[in-house]
Amino acid sequence: MKHFKLFLIAALLFTGVSARGEVVGSSAPGAAAPAPATAADQAAQDAVIPPAGSEAASEPQAAVHPEKNDKPAMVLRDAEGKPLPDINGLLTLDDCIQIALANSPQAVAAQLNLQTAHVNLNLSKADFLPTVTAGASQSYSNSKMDGSSRTDHGSSDVYAQAQLSISGVTDKVRNVKIQQGAVEQAELNLDSVKNDLIRTVKKNYYALLSAVRAVGIRTQSRDLYKDQYERAAEYFRLGLRPKVDVTTAEVNLNNEELSLIRAKNLVKTASAQLANTMGVTTPKTLEIEDIAHFEKFDMPFDQAVKTAYANRPDVLSAQTDVRISQIKLNQAKANYFPTFSFSAGYSKYGDDFSLDNEETKLLASIEIPIFNAFKTYNGVKQAKISLENTLNSNRSLLNNVFLEVQSAYINMQEASESIPIAELNVEKAKENLDLARGRYNEGIGDIIELKDAEVAYTDAELSLLTARYDYASAVADLKQAMGTN
């Protein structure tokens, strides 16, 4: 016991533990490493909770702010593992489209459907490939019959074989063609999903830009009302204006402050919608790059319709539907004709691994249908009805595509024609505001006239902003209707 106490004292001195149980540590060379930190010690180091028995426990602790978290931000990656643009940085329109195409649940689901279609195609092709198997077995039996002595017996078997069996070759070929059509449709569906995503990202991107610019317009209007209020208050102090002007100017300023708050909330809403389209969640408002000028769309309407018929994924998918229905009709008609089957097999086997025995099998057969309770007749009739229904759906789709292109083209023309008028209105409203402000400052005009001029100027700027982004959104809709996003 005496030796144990001496050893304990030496250990305490060596590690530098104080009487309160706090680790003092040592910087001398060869000092022992400190003991692993417990959960409580780690929490104390992170300033989440104070360490037990610490003198600083009663002192106020710094709050933990989420924005000051040192943990690395989640990095989004595409299907190839390449990092996507950081959603916490400045995003361009191309960045947002890239994130949406790689990360949106709709795009991921369409990609998985394409992979499933490829797997089904491979499964249909596998019917033409042989199968190879190998195996071994060992058996042992022990039996006793009444009136005879007990007997035991054991045997072993080892084999390897290859087989190829094809029944209804033409049916299998048609199944492969049908699965190839399914792969084409899955690819076209993926293209369609991408087109829809690009259109939606563009519209939400433009909506966020419009909301941000609207905040700037509302801020400018608020500053005008603030200047008006300060002037009215100064004129009232000098006895040049009545008290009602000050009250009216203050009400106008407060109303514009409310409009500015709503405009800022619209920015947050538009940011959330854009983030949702990209398939990401973030509590912060996205920072996006401004677009000074939008592209001009000059394609004639007839050419736009022809482009839609040639490029739209759903139109091309409908054409594939017609081709698949025709294959199924031929498949149903094939039941009127004989069915050919072929099988081949080769095996080696024996009671040991030398595989001394072998066997080869070849079989070819033909089966002629005579009567199957009119199943073939009704199957062909059903396939014909299905083909007619597919053709009718295809015609309906073409009509809808024409209507979509026409509606988007009309909206684009309307927005395009509205922009010059809206620009002229802004110019005239600015002139009217300058005149009203001058009349009020000279004591000729009243505050109501000034307020009306300020409201008209703000509305004109917002109308011009709406016209420009309506045009950009209409172009996005038209390109999506044409399948050229």
336 vs 31, more confident: 336
Q: With respect to residue 72, please indicate whether it lies within any of the assigned structural domains.
A: no
Same domain, residue pair 36 and 101: no
Helical H segments across 16-104, by residue range: 39-45, 93-103
Mean pLDDT of the chain: 79
Q: With respect to residue 174, please indicate whether it lies within any of the assigned structural domains.
A: yes
Same domain, residue pair 438 and 297: yes
The whole-number average pLDDT for the span 318-338 is: 87
Same domain, residue pair 328 and 282: yes
Same domain, residue pair 17 and 95: no
Residues of the chain above pLDDT 90, percent: 38
Kindly report, residue by residue over 241-254, the tens digit of the pLDDT: 888 888 988 998 99
Confidence bin at 352 (pLDDT 50/70/90): low
Same domain, residue pair 36 and 102: no
Same domain, residue pair 99 and 187: yes
Same domain, residue pair 460 and 390: yes
Pair of tokens at residue 434: 């300058």
Q: Which residues of 426-465 are buried (b: 16+ CB within 10 A; e: fewer)?
A: beebeebbeebbeebeeeebbbebbbebbbbbbebbbbbb
Same domain, residue pair 8 and 128: no
Pair of tokens at residue 469: 């982004």
Task: Read off the CATH number of the domain in which 305 is found.
Answer: 1.20.1600.10
Same domain, residue pair 11 and 123: no
Q: Please tell me the distance from the alpha carbon of residue 341 to that of residue 357, in angstroms, as a whole number.
A: 27
The whole-number average pLDDT for the span 360-388 is: 84
pTM of the entire predicted model: 0.69
Q: With respect to residue 425, please indicate whether it lies within any of the assigned structural domains.
A: yes
Burial class (CB in 10 A: 0-12, 13-18, 19+), 323: middle
Residue 215's domain comprises 90-132+170-336+377-482
Kindly report, residue by residue over 191-233, the tens digit of the pLDDT: 999 999 999 999 999 999 999 999 999 999 899 889 888 888 8
Q: With respect to residue 164, please indicate whether it lies within any of the assigned structural domains.
A: no
The whole-number average pLDDT for the span 51-61 is: 36
Same domain, residue pair 123 and 9: no
**Percentages of the chain per state (helix, strand, coil), in multiples of 5:** 65, 15, 25
- Count how many domains the chain has: 2
Contacts with 180 (C-beta within 8 Å, 6 or more apart), sequence order:
121
Inter-axis angle of helices 301-311 and 375-441, to 10 degrees? Answer: 140
Supply φ then ψ for residue 356, to 5 degrees: -75, -25
Same domain, residue pair 329 and 201: yes
- Asked if the model's pLDDT at residue 40 lies above 70, the reply is no
Q: With respect to residue 163, please indicate whether it lies within any of the assigned structural domains.
A: no
Q: With respect to residue 235, please indicate whether it lies within any of the assigned structural domains.
A: yes
Are 479 and 485 in contact by the 8 Å Cβ rule? The answer is yes
Q: With respect to residue 387, please indicate whether it lies within any of the assigned structural domains.
A: yes
Same domain, residue pair 48 and 175: no
Q: With respect to residue 61, please indicate whether it lies within any of the assigned structural domains.
A: no
